[in-house]
Chain A
Amino acid sequence: MEWLVHFYALHSKLIDQVGINAIFALSLSITLQAGHLALANAAFGGIAAYVASLLSIARGWPLSVTTLIGAAAAALVGAAVGWPVTRLRGVYLAIATIGFGEIALIVENNLSITGGAEGLSQIPNQTTTWKIYLVLAVLAFIFWRLRRTRAGWAIAAVREDEHAAASFGIDPTRVKFWTFVASAAIAGVAGSLYAHENFFIAPGDWGFSRMVDILVYCVIGGAASPWGAMLGAGIISLLPEVFRFLHDYRDIVNGVVLLAVVIFAPQGLAGLWARDRRGRKATPPGAAEAQGS
């Protein structure tokens, strides 16, 4: 027991980081499960983080309130962006979301209310470990149950084959739109939690390299299930600490590990396990695009 307390004292921040990264990973996994590659989660996290932080600083509202408002703001922007963007296919959708992310970054750098490049400091430190993991547990539970609902079937159908889904009366664009908005909202929750964990945020926290990190969580762990996304977030967050003894060679090892997982376990590590259990290959998210539509 004492060992646990001591371990927590030494590593509580890392544990918190894993949790927040897992929520980001979940936000991406929902769009991946619907079969589209949307790359604006980091940007949505940033939007919510700024909104929530400014409210906390100016009004002192509790974390749950500011996070909800932040996530709602992210969802609203997500809806505005998603409306035109989810009509695009494959790579074009991905690029459009990257473009949006870059624009959001530049806007954040230039507005005085966000503090610009100097960032926003003295954000109240309201995030705690149990709050993060509570949110994570609730989200994971929702995702897990989602599979058996009509919405869940619709999402899976759109991923497998958009045309077939349409012939069943499912509107692929609507599914893509709503998963996009949902992913923006969830990313927003993660963003707000991050801001209230770290005292300070700057536009650079929400750029393309952060998006790549989130992408990597889903790839390593596997986006097909919430467990995969969370597993990936956990492994990648821990990797720099585990490999610290490698000093400057950490990057190479990171790259090699990433490459190996992508090539030998394209459904992620959770997918490997899923495949063994069901004895057949789970369809990787996004493979529908591969048929050269």
Chain B
Amino acid sequence: MRNITRVLIATAALGGTLAAATGAGLAASHPDLKWTAIFDSTGPAGAYGTSQKNALELAAADIDAGKIESGGQKISIDIQDSATSPAQVINIMQSAFGNGTSLIVGPTLSSEAFKADPLAVKANVPVMGVSNTANGITEMGPCVFRNSLSEAQIVPDVIEAAKKSWHVKTAAIIYGDDDQFTKADYTIFNADLPKAGVKVVDVETFHKGDVDFKAQLTKIKEAKPDVIVYGALYAEGAKLLDQARQVGLHGHEIGGNGFNSPQIIALAGKAADGVIVGAAWYAGAETNGNAAFVKNYTAKYSKSPDQFAAQAYAGAQIAAAAVKKSHPADAAGMCSALKQVGSVQTVIGPFKFASTRDADAHGFVVQIKNGTFSKFE
């Protein structure tokens, strides 16, 4: 054989070996990851858990298809139903640790998180809360993260917007006192309104599942507030809006986080027009990938996504970005990866973790107009 041919063959062989070795090396240092998502897709919190489940299924498909980048590392997401039972959240988690899960996404409710996350902390498996808004969640452990904005982060902006546009001086608050989510609306609005120079002239409460609010609304009407604040989830919220009109309340209104749901508009219709809401996201937000997310979600599930869905999807985006950046191999790696993820463009906007591992992001102030949420001027 001629010398040049030998050199060529040798080079090719060397190149091939190098490529194979690098390929094998890559595969060895980027093993498949397993995540476990725990949501209440049945039971009293079923409406929210189903949104989250849907969003995460979409996210899993998008990761597989490369639409959400994970740096080539394969991620399989196991979505489990905890049926609004803390016991089931705990059991799913415990089994997941045994199966080598490197990230827990969820659970749906803060009350479930308080019972179950300590187990993950003990097992050194990171948790990404996508709907936990109570105080004290990330304090549970150094690998507990969340991307859900709490009311405390959104409310000041809403109050400012209301003051600027509506010049409100007095307010009434009506909220659900048996749910941590809606009670937070009261706690925070009640503290922040006076700070902004708005006097709280009446406070009323109701319970989850109540259908009649006219007694409370009539009392609020008597107090003649410039603005009414509703601390309610969509089911009670829609009825509140309807009945407010029925008793003759037509003034300014602010909805808490729970109002950020297409169901409010579907159920209350015209009664919802004009309400402003402080939200972590809205369907018309011009954030990265949001238009595609809304379109795909609606096509797949025959209804538009709500905030629970958006935050769950964003959670997957953030975790995938962490994987892409740091190529973790296990749970410990996943935790460090999340800590180092930096800034991520998600459907809920540009996102990064604060040093406390809470969400460091801004909400939106939106208004319901003609059946959709749009930016409040």
Contacts and interface: CB of A to CB of B under 8 A. Distances in A.
Contacts of B183: 116-118
B86 A248 contact: no
A147 to B, nearest CB: 32
Interface string A13-46: 1100100000000000000000000000000000
A9 B114 CA distance: 21
A125 interface: yes
A12 B80 CA distance: 19
A117 B87 CA distance: 19
Contacts of A244: 80
B109 to A, nearest CB: 9
B interface bracket (residues with beta carbon within 8 Å of A): 20 to 34
A203 interface: yes
Nearest to A11: B94
A241 to B, nearest CB: 6
Contacts of A73: none
B91 A241 contact: yes
Interface in B63-100: 80-81, 83, 85-88, 90-91, 94-95, 97-98
Given A12-B94, A199-B118, A17 B87 contact: yes
A250 interface: yes
Tell me what chain A mostly uses at the interface: helix, strand, loop, or mixed.
helix
B303 interface: no
B93 to A, nearest CB: 8
A121 interface: yes
Given A199-B114, A200-B114, A14 B94 contact: yes
A interface bracket (residues with beta carbon within 8 Å of B): 20 to 34
Nearest to B85: A240
A251 B44 CA distance: 13
Given A248-B41, A250-B83, A117 B91 contact: no
Interface stretch (B22-30, B174-182, B215-223, B248-256): B174-182
Interface string A226-253: 0000000000010011001001101100
A75 interface: no
A218 B115 CA distance: 26
Given A109-B177, A248-B41, A118 B83 contact: no
A118 B188 CA distance: 13
B94 A203 contact: no
A117 B42 contact: no
Interface string B111-124: 10011001100000
B83 A121 contact: no
Contacts of A199: 114-115, 118
Contacts of A263: none
Contacts of A240: 83, 85, 88, 91
B80 A198 contact: no
Contacts of B86: 198, 205
A4 interface: no
A17 B179 CA distance: 25
B98 A116 contact: no
A118 B177 contact: no
Specify which of A10, A14, A110, A118 lies most central, judged by the most chain B CB atoms within 10 Å of its CB. Answer: A118
Tell me what chain B mostly uses at the interface: helix, strand, loop, or mixed.
helix
Contacts of B136: 121
A14 B83 CA distance: 16
Nearest to B122: A125
Specify which of A204, A237, A244 lies most central, judged by the most chain B CB atoms within 10 Å of its CB. Answer: A204
Contacts of B85: 240
A248 B81 contact: yes
B323 to A, nearest CB: 26
A119 B94 contact: no
B134 interface: yes
Interface string B285-320: 000000000000000000000000000000000000
Given A13-B119, A199-B115, A247-B81, A118 B134 contact: yes
A237 B87 CA distance: 9
A204 to B, nearest CB: 7
Interface in B30-84: 41-42, 80-81, 83
A204 B178 contact: yes
A157 B241 CA distance: 57
Contacts of A118: 134-135, 180, 183
A203 B42 CA distance: 20
A202 interface: yes
Contacts of A202: 111, 180
B42 A13 contact: no
Contacts of A204: 111, 178
A109 B180 contact: no
Interface in B10-32: none
Given A125-B118, A240-B83, A251-B42, A117 B179 contact: yes
A248 B90 contact: no
B111 A116 contact: no
Contacts of A116: 177, 183
Contacts of A14: 90-91, 94
Contact of A13 (B83, B91, B134): B91
A27 B42 CA distance: 29
Interface of A: 6, 9-14, 17, 109-110, 116-119, 121, 125, 198-200, 202-205, 237, 240-241, 244, 247-248, 250-251
Given A118-B183, A199-B118, A204-B111, 17 more contacts: A6-B98, A10-B95, A11-B94, A13-B91, A13-B94, A14-B94, A17-B87, A17-B91, A118-B180, A125-B118, A198-B86, A200-B115, A203-B178, A240-B83, A240-B85, A240-B91, A250-B42
The 10 closest A-B pairs by CB, nearest first: A200-B114, A10-B98, A198-B115, A117-B183, A13-B90, A202-B111, A109-B178, A200-B115, A118-B180, A14-B91
25 contacts: A10-B94, A10-B95, A10-B98, A13-B87, A14-B91, A17-B87, A17-B90, A17-B91, A117-B178, A117-B180, A118-B134, A118-B180, A119-B111, A119-B180, A121-B114, A121-B136, A200-B111, A200-B114, A203-B178, A204-B111, A237-B87, A240-B88, A244-B80, A250-B81, A250-B83
